[in-house]
Amino acid sequence: ILLQVAFKMYLGVTPSVSCLSAAGNEFSLILDKNPLVDFVEELPAERASLCYSNLLCGVIRGALEMVHLAAEVTFLQDRLKGDAVTEIGITFLRKAEDRKHKR
């Protein structure tokens, strides 16, 4: 729920969450509307592999690292590539080790 609130606060959209694995370490965020691509009409042919909204993956991964969770965050579907929705896959790899600072 906190993730949905953060998306609503910063991007103005609320993603739906779907679980991908029985272990509970994988899930997807599905955005019906991606405000980062509102003003992008079509990617040029020579840049077809560009993932325009990859910024979102970096932000999510960085936020998870701040709370000591290692995760792989990737785009599964992208509206700019002709998909119906934008889908971001998140897989928790392991709990990052707490680093104790020496004084």
| Structure confidence at residue 30 (pLDDT) | 92
Q: What is the 3-state secondary structure (H, E, C) of the chain?
A: CHHHHHHHHHHCCCCEEEECCCCCCEEEEEECCCHHHCCCCCCCHHHCCCCCCHHHHHHHHHHHHHCCEEEEEEEEECHHHCCCCEEEEEEEEEECCCCCCCC
* Entry pTM: 0.78
Cα 3–chain centre separation? 10
Q: Is the pLDDT of residue 5 over 70?
A: yes
C-alpha span between 57 and 101 (Å, rounded):
29
29-86 confidence digits (pLDDT tens): 999 888 888 877 777 788 778 887 888 899 999 988 888 889 999 999 988 888 888 9
Q: What is the CATH number of domain 1-90?
A: 3.30.1380.20
* Domain residue ranges in the chain: 1-90
More confident residue, 100 or 9: 9
